[in-house]
Structure 1
Amino acid sequence: MVTDTATAPMAETMPGRALRALVRVLDLGVLLHPLRMLNYYGYAHVRPRRLIEMGRGVRIAPNVSFRHGARIALADGVQLGERVSLWAGKTTARVTIGARTTLGPDVFVTAADYGLAAGQRIVDQVMTERDVVIGADCWIGTKAVITAGVTLGDGCVVGAGSVVTRDVAPGAIVGGIPARVLRMRD
């Protein structure tokens, strides 16, 4: 007897493939995941965004994450790229961004740090909150991190992937980890 080996294995596995696909689709975790995503979107974007002090012409990607929106201020023409995170402090520290400033994708700005005392779990320590001020007409490159207490002067540029831990003068171009002045915008 001659069998067609090219189609025989396909015919035998088609019901098995369909069944495996159906099991994956009907998995309870898969079915509940969209609800978890909606919940996250609500508390990380929609609800805090309503509390933000926002100027005219602000452009915000739909997947930007905010914490403590009442302490975030965005001036006219600010642009926030995909997956930007702006985290103001829980109690006092603010994040303020000046007019016409652009934050590239995956930029992280935080106005609070955990304590570092020995003998105590990090998450149990009191957070230190300090305002973050980003001036007007700045450009913050992809995946840059701006830490608590930093002030970026007007017109400065932060290179992609940089970690800014100190104040930056107006018009400075900074890069690296930690960020340092590379040159001035003259």
Structure 2
Amino acid sequence: MNSTYKEDEVLALLQDEITRRKGFEMMVSQYSEQLYWQIRRMVLSHEDANDLLQNTFIKAWTNITNFRGDSMLSTWLYRIALNECLTFLNKQRAVQTVSIDEEDSIAVQKLESDPYFSGDRAQLLLQKALCSLPEKQRMVFNLKYYQEMKYEEMSQIFGTSVGALKASYHHAVKKIEKYLEDEI
């Protein structure tokens, strides 16, 4: 089980060149699991999620001296991870010449064939419903529902108002409910 560190401890170590490596190790230990699952819910594939998680931490390491502390470290890491996801998904879209419906179908097929997916029918239906959402709604839903993140923190990640995020979450929930009603 990962140890829990205080964010200010980790930040202090990261800001000092002598202790930066130790601070980075603590940061990775502290945030890897929750970032992995946030990324995984966006890209669905275990291998892709691992690659994007690694890219997230590489970018964090490369840019840690530029971290100003305007937000929490976790918020900054989520922002990097979500940007990595968006870049990855946009590149996939550019390579594929399929419709959005076909893209969602391909993503679900990928999930179903993923040896690391161990969900039951209900979990698979929820994932299919999530795939039907626009990316931003899916991200907002994932952060609120799975990570139980406060709207204020999400506002810092997305650079969007709390009201817009609440509306986005509400629309996502309604679309998921409708999808599940239609499927069941």
TM-score, normalised relative to structure 1: 0.23
The structure richer in strand per residue is: 1
The structure richer in helix per residue is: 2
* Greater relative contact order structure (CA < 8 Å, 6+ sep): 2
TM-score, normalised relative to structure 2: 0.24
Larger Cα-atom Rg: 1
